[in-house]
Amino acid sequence: MDGVLYQLPTAFWTVPYVSSRFPGASEVTDLPNLEEGANCQLFAYEVLRHFGLAAPALRSSELWADTQTTARVLVAQPLDLVLFNATEDAYGAHVGVWVNEGRVLHLCAEIGRPAVWETTEFAARERYRVLIGNKRVVDTTQNTVG
């Protein structure tokens, strides 16, 4: 099993998709309660936080533009953020976490829970057909993935 998936607590797999619970939403604090749900961005950031990475609480277009705490990378590694959208525009892009070998963990609106998809599964859906790119958190002091 992939290191990221193996080390992720069971509670992460039951997080409900709630579109109104996004970074910056009034009811979401610095340490959001995932039991109340999350959108894809908030979920991805909490996965990274679990592994000791200080992901910025940014919306997708802000994340793509960020150069202070994240860097664009051509080849994804485990725990990199991956952005998908219907177009090359990062505004409103779907955010997931790279797991391994073309697999992405994400909070899936279609099924309402977290899922792991191959990148080809994203490409097959109109709303996720464009891989915008990968972002790596660069302001980090610990990484516990084995």
Express each pLDDT in 88-112 by its tens digit: 999 999 999 999 989 999 999 999 9
User: Which pLDDT belongs to residue 6?
Assistant: 86
Query: From the centroid of its chain, how far is CA 97?
Result: 4
Task: Tell which residue, 127, 124, 33, 47, has the closest CA to residue 83.
Answer: 127
Calpha distance 136→146 (Å, rounded) = 17
CB 79 within 8 A of CB 50: no
Q: Using the 8-state DSSP alphabet, how is residue 14 labeled?
A: G
Q: What is the mean pLDDT of the chain?
A: 88
pLDDT band (50, 70, 90) for residue 29: low
Q: Average of pLDDT values for 126-139?
A: 94
CA angle 55, 135, 11 (to 5 degrees): 50
User: Which pLDDT belongs to residue 142?
Assistant: 43
Instruction: Please report the domains of the chain, with CATH numbers, ordered by start residue.
Output: 15-137 (3.90.1720.10)
User: Which pLDDT belongs to residue 121?
Assistant: 96
Backbone angles phi, psi at 128, to 5 degrees: -125, 15
**CA 82 vs CA 3, 29, 77, 88: distances in Å:** 18, 23, 10, 13
Express each pLDDT in 68-88 by its tens digit: 999 999 999 999 999 999 999
Q: Average of pLDDT values for 10-21?
A: 88
Give the predicted TM-score (pTM) of the model: 0.88
pLDDT band (50, 70, 90) for residue 37: confident
**Cα dihedral 61→93→2→141 (10° resolution):** 10
Query: From the centroid of its chain, how far is CA 8?
Result: 14
Calpha distance 73→5 (Å, rounded) = 22
Calpha distance 90→59 (Å, rounded) = 9
